[in-house]
Homo-oligomer: A and B are copies of this chain.
Amino acid sequence: MNVSKRGLDIQPSPIRKLKPFADRAKEKGIHIYHLNIGQPDIPSPEAVLDAIHHYDEQIISYGPAQGYLELREAIAKYYRSYDIPLNADDVIITIGGSEAIHFGFSVIADPKEEVIIPEPFYTNYNGFASFADVRIVPLTLSVENGFRLPALEEIEAKITGKTRAILLCSPNNPTGTVYTRQELDGIVSLVEKYDLFLIGDEVYKEFIYDGAVHTSVLEYERIKDRVLVVDSISKRFSCCGARVGAVITRNSDVYKALLKYAQARLCPPSVEQTAAIAAYRMGPEYFQEVREEYQKRRDVLYGGLKDIPGIVIDKPQGAFYIIVRLPIKDSEHFVQWMLTDFQMDNETVMVAPAQGFYSSPGKGLDEIRLAYVLKEKDLLRAIEVFKAGLSEYKTHFD
C-alpha cells in the first residue's frame, strides 16, 4: 500500500516550491511584487461578470460533453474573424487549456510515445505528459538568439520512430517569442515529411505587439487533418479561474476520440461556460485595449532590464513573459534570497527561476522568467527593487 511510482515521479510545480519563502516574507510585513506567475491584474470583462450575476438557470445541470453549442459557435466565429474557416463541430470545450493538452496528448500518442517541444516550455506540459504517459523530447532554444527555432536539420534529428507530434506554443510562454511564418513553414514541412501531428498552443494569440500579426497553425490548409489547437479564455479574457478552454481539430477521427475523452468526465463547468459565451461576444476592441496595455508593460519591463550589466535579453514579441539570462550562477538561489534576505523599503520582487521550464538537465540555471502582469506604476517600482536586489546579491555571491 504505497503511492504509485508515477505519483512519486510526477513533477511538483517548480514555481510553488518557493511559495513558503514568499509566505514568510509576507508574514514579516514585506510587500512582494509578483512577477513570477501568469495571473494578470486586468479585471475580467464586465460582460463576463454580468453573465455570472445574471445566470438564470434554476438547475446547474450537466451540459453536453463537448460543451455548449452556443459557446462552440462563438469560438468558431472568433476564428472566422481571422479568416480561419471553422465551425462549431471543430471545437470541443475543455476544462481549461490544461485539459485540452491532456486530451490532445492522449489521442495523438500512445503511452511512451514522443512529442517534440521547444524548450524552455510551459512547465505544466510535464504534468499533462505524465497524465498521458507521453514523453516530451525537448528541442533546446537559447536566449542568445531570441529563442528562434533552429535549422530544420537540428529539429529533424529529434524525430524518431516514436515521435507522434510537434507542439508549438506561439506567442510563447515562457519566452514571449512569436514564431514567424517562415519558422512555421519549416515545421509544417517536417510534419508532412514525417507524418506527424502539429499541436498549436495559441492561448496567447491576442497578445502580440508592434502591430505584428499572429500566424495560427490552423492557417495551413494542406495539413488541416494534422493540426490540433489548444485554446483557453484564461488569459485572453483574464478569466484564469474559470477553467474554460477548447481543443480544435478538423480531423473527424481525432474529434471522435476527443469526444470520448470528454464524455468520460461528463462536461465542463456550466456557469463559467455561460460566462465564456459573453466573453466571445465582445468585439475586437476589447483585445485592442488589453493589447496596448500589455505592450506598454512589455516596453517598461524590457526598457528597465536591458541595460543591466551582464544581462542577456531579447525583446519579446508576444504573450506577457520574458526569459533573461542574469550574471549569476544559480537563479533559484537568487530568487529565494530575494525573498529571505533582501528588501528595499520593505519591498521585494518574486520571479520564477527558469530551470523549471527546461526538461534538459542543467539548462536555465542562470535564467529567470518574468511575467509583466502588473500595472505600469507597480512594474516600474518592481524593476527598481529588482535591480537593487540583483546588485546586492552580486556583491555577496560573485
Kindly state whether residue A185 has any CB partner on chain B within 8 Å.
Answer: no
Q: Which of B53, B65, B127 contacts A16 (CB 8 A)?
A: B65
Query: How many copies of this chain are found per oligomer?
Result: 2
Cβ-defined contact, A261 with B10, below 8 A: yes
Q: Which of B58, B111, B269 contacts A272 (CB 8 A)?
A: B269
Kindly state whether residue A348 has any CB partner on chain B within 8 Å.
Answer: no
Cβ-defined contact, B263 with A241, below 8 A: no
Closest to A127 in B: B264
Kindly state whether residue A61 has any CB partner on chain B within 8 Å.
Answer: yes
Cβ-defined contact, B241 with A3, below 8 A: no
Closest to A4 in B: B110
CA A261 to CA B13, docked complex, whole Å? 10
Kindly state whether residue A231 has any CB partner on chain B within 8 Å.
Answer: no
Cβ-defined contact, A60 with B239, below 8 A: yes
Q: Which of A1-18 contact B (CB under 8 A)?
A: 1-8, 10-13, 16
11 A-B residue pairs with Cβ-Cβ distance under 8 Å, sorted by A, are A2-B253, A3-B108, A3-B256, A4-B110, A7-B257, A10-B264, A60-B241, A111-B111, A127-B264, A241-B269, A269-B269
Kindly state whether residue A243 has any CB partner on chain B within 8 Å.
Answer: yes
Kindly state whether residue A140 has any CB partner on chain B within 8 Å.
Answer: no
Q: Which of B2, B241, B253, B257 contacts A10 (CB 8 A)?
A: B257
Q: How far is the CB of A97 from chain B (nearest CB, A)?
A: 9
Cβ-defined contact, A1 with B196, below 8 A: yes
Q: Chain B residues near A253: list those with CB within 8 A.
A: 2-3
Known: A11-B260, A16-B65. A267 touches B241 (CB 8 A): yes
Q: Chain B residues near A265: list those with CB within 8 A.
A: 95-96, 98-99, 102, 124, 127
Q: Chain B residues near A5: list those with CB within 8 A.
A: 110
Closest to A37 in B: B62
Q: How far is the CB of A7 from chain B (nearest CB, A)?
A: 3
CA A131 to CA B265, docked complex, whole Å? 10
